Amino acid sequence: MKRIVVLGSTGSIGAQTLDVVRRHADKLEVVGLAVGTRVGELLAQAREFGVRHLAVGDERLAEQPIADELRNAILSGSHGGTQQPASAPSSLAEAVARHNAGGEGSLGFGADAVVDLVRLPEADIVVNALVGAAGLRASYETLAAGKVLALANKESLVVGGDLIMPMAAEPGRLMPIDSEHGAIYQCLLGEDPREVSRLWVTASGGPFRGRTRADLADITPAQALAHPTWNMGAKISIDSSTLMNKGLEVIEAHHLFAMSYDRISVVVQPQSAIHSMVEYSDGSVKAHLGTTDMRIPIQFALSYPERWDAPVEPLDFTKLGTLEFAAPDTDTFRCLALARAAGERGGTLPCVMNAANEVAVAAFLAEEGSYLGIAACVEAVMDAHERQGVQRVESLDQLEELDAWARAEARRNVR
């Protein structure tokens, strides 16, 4: 039995992780759950899986009055009982304290409480599905605590790869969850890394494949969120549409597989049937194909080194039709080129680039900035940091300080 903590349990990756647990309840047990703000869903998950250790990232919710519907959901408890106490709780903290009554449990609010879950002595694996740079410290502390890190948080390696990878040298300590790196990981199994000549990271091309910059001038958030093949959260969906997501994955691949940037290529594969490829020195290419469902890489990260029964219907090659390939349009989708440039320059520039992108994407989703303005904002903040001087990555505190600076600078450059 593998015991897991899921950080970001109500997001797309977190919810699909719990679905894998449902299918393999004889092999997996959830011992900790963390969310940002979606407390009602968190408590429903806690009841279903019998989880006693909970964390809520938004500390402002600790004393916030809660609605009757949510209060009743909490007070139903995780023991199957429905009897209501005489008095209703006045805050979320009190309500969940009652939820934990009758068994040993914990509830915390704020970023530190989320990170505390990775240190649970009973936990074997931590699924880090947090969104954004907030996931970096959780990844660092997971490895520091000797746990296996199942990583869906791209920013952990984009921002802090220089700190994270030396802690994950032992095989199996860091298992990538995203489809591209999970595919590369599997294509490398049993191979000599010295015989790898190129990593091919595939991209769907997003909803705007084939468009020109002029076509993208008036793009709305709703249009950008309509991904053609994958079901993802809002931030990642926007990143996919700008190809920033693919730029982040190039940086991740550099760190995960110790591969130089000149040997990492991006290819557009619109059907998303090929999840990535590895080219070897003799000209052979291994490709990982499968259904476009994130439960496959999630399950492999949790089952490794074993393979369990498929969580989805396998790909039917007789119905696949054709496979298309094309080079990415980095002139139109400038975020890919910006991310690669940040990775090649290295040091603290990827941290700054990532923070600026998070701010620009949030502004676009809030209709405070334009679609094309995302790349413009990122480039402006990168230029400002380079003028100040890119630094060598030395600590989490250093990265968090630069992250804060970059966010403030990005807010001044939203356009």
The predicted-structure confidence for 107-125, as pLDDT tens digits, reads as follows: 888 999 999 999 999 999 9
Sheet with 106-109, side-by-side order of all strands? 106-109, 53-56, 28-35, 2-7, 125-128, 148-151, 174-176
The predicted-structure confidence for 61-119, as pLDDT tens digits, reads as follows: 877 665 444 445 444 544 343 344 445 556 666 665 565 555 567 888 899 999 999 99
Residue positions forming the annotated binding site for 1-deoxy-D-xylulose 5-phosphate? 154, 179-180, 204, 227, 240, 245-246, 249
Average pLDDT over residues 267-292: 96
Assign a CATH topology to domain 191-291+323-411. Answer: Rna Polymerase Sigma Factor; Chain: A (1.10.1740)
| Token pair listed for 161 | 């790869």
Residue positions forming the annotated binding site for Mn(2+)? 178, 180, 249
pLDDT at residue number 67: 44
What residues have CB less than 8 Å from 35, skipping those under 6 apart?
A: 8, 9, 10, 14, 41, 42, 55, 56, 57
| Token pair listed for 218 | 């008036």
* 191-291+323-411 matches 1-76+91-175 in CATH topology: no
Specify the range with the lowest mean pLDDT, choosing from 49-53, 200-204, 331-335: 49-53
Nearest to 14 by CA among 134, 131, 129, 118: 129
CA separation for the pair 5, 161 (Å, rounded) = 22
- Asked whether the predicted pLDDT for residue 152 surpasses 80, the reply is yes
Nearest to 218 by CA among 361, 1, 372, 346: 372
Predicted TM-score of the model (pTM): 0.90
What integer best gives the mean pLDDT of the chain?
Answer: 90
Every domain of the chain and the residues it spans: 1-76+91-175, 191-291+323-411
Residue positions forming the annotated binding site for NADPH? 10-13, 36, 153, 155, 233
| Token pair listed for 291 | 């259904």
In this structure, the dihedral spanned by the alpha carbons of residues 287, 293, 294 and 295, taken in order and rounded to 10 degrees, is: -110
CA dist 171 → 197, 303, 408 (Å)? 21, 14, 38
Going by pLDDT thresholds of 50, 70 and 90, the confidence category of residue 52 is confident
Average pLDDT over residues 190-197: 97
pLDDT at residue number 83: 41
Assign a CATH topology to domain 1-76+91-175. Answer: Rossmann fold (3.40.50)
The predicted-structure confidence for 328-379, as pLDDT tens digits, reads as follows: 999 999 999 999 999 999 999 999 999 999 999 999 999 999 999 999 999 9
Report the DSSP pairing between strands 125-128 and 148-151.
parallel
Average pLDDT over residues 227-231: 69
Tokens 């004393």 -> residue: 63
CA dist 16 → 51, 57, 220, 291 (Å)? 17, 20, 28, 14
Residue positions forming the annotated binding site? 10-13, 36, 153-155, 178-180, 204, 227, 233, 240, 245-246, 249
Average pLDDT over residues 400-404: 96
CB burial of 107-134 (b: ≥16 within 10 Å; e: otherwise) equals bbbbbebbbbbbbbeebbbbbbbbbbbb
Average pLDDT over residues 221-232: 81
